[in-house]
Amino acid sequence: MNENNILLINKPTNMTSFGVVARVRRVLSEKAGKKVKVGHTGTLDPFATGLMILVTGKECKNAEAYSKLDKVYEATFRLGQTSSTGDPEGEITDISNERPSREDLLAALRKYTGEISQRPPAFSAIKINGQRAYKLARSGEAVEVPLRKITVYSLELLDYSYPEVKVRAHVSSGTYIRSLAGDIGVFLHTGAYCAELRRTAISKWNIKEAVQLKDLGIES
């Protein structure tokens, strides 16, 4: 590949985005016989899978432009419980055994479609007074990340088999699907967290175009 380019990666689960970048950087640098600059254009949580756009060489200067693009996710929300991190890696708390109807669920999805105010998770990479929110949260500090305006262009119900809700979300940059799950859980009075998350598209780029790390000779 051209070392001044973009690389579409299908990120595996249980790996940080920075881990993906480090592995790809090592392989590309070995192939080029010199250090190749590699950066990401937006992280995926360790538990999440799917499309990452990596920028290499001179294209790294355009990383921010890629990070501002719309994204599509497929996610599984688990009703009846909450998570301290909004995902399976946090402390899980039972909230309710109530089983919302499909109509109630569709009403919740409509409620959170369009331009909305969202509070990103405390366990996120957003900076609060110069420090990453997740570092403050892990140290036991109370963290309240400011609300932000985001746009949910569409929120489609793919399947509902209590307690699991599978959705497809087309969202603007800066949207946290973990927060979306939590907000829907509050609306339904059941609690909810994001149990599975996969990014399937970033603007015109699709997960079908992405390569596995193993295709680059990288063990995941």
For residue 146, whether the previous peptide bond is cis, meaning omega lies within 30 degrees of 0, is no
Radius of gyration for the chain, computed over Cα atoms and rounded to the nearest angstrom: 18
pLDDT along the chain (220 residues), means of 10: 80 94 93 92 93 95 94 98 93 96 98 94 62 59 76 98 98 95 97 98 97 86
- 28 has which bridge partners? none
- Identify the pLDDT of residue 204: 96
From the list 45, 70, 94, 215, the catalytic residue is 45
Taking the model in full, what pTM does it have? 0.90
- Identify the pLDDT of residue 122: 62
Going by C-beta distance under 8 Å and a sequence separation of 6 or more, which residues neighbour residue 213?
A: 9, 10, 12, 20, 23, 24, 219, 220
- Identify the pLDDT of residue 142: 62
Half-sphere exposure (Cβ direction) of 123: Cα atoms closer than 13 Å: 18
Distance CA 207, CA 176 (A): 19
On average, the pLDDT of the chain sits at 90
Which amino acid belongs to residue 3? E
- 186: tokens are 């509050």
Helix (H, G, I), strand (E, B) or coil at 113: coil
Q: Is there a catalytic annotation at residue 183?
A: no
CB 209 within 8 A of CB 8: yes
- Identify the pLDDT of residue 147: 83
The position carrying tokens 């355009």 is 62
For the chain, first and last CA: distance in Å? 21
Which domains, from first to last, does the chain contain?
A: 6-68+203-216 (3.30.2350.10), 71-202 (3.30.2350.10)
Pairing of strands 49-56, 6-11: antiparallel
- Identify the pLDDT of residue 134: 58
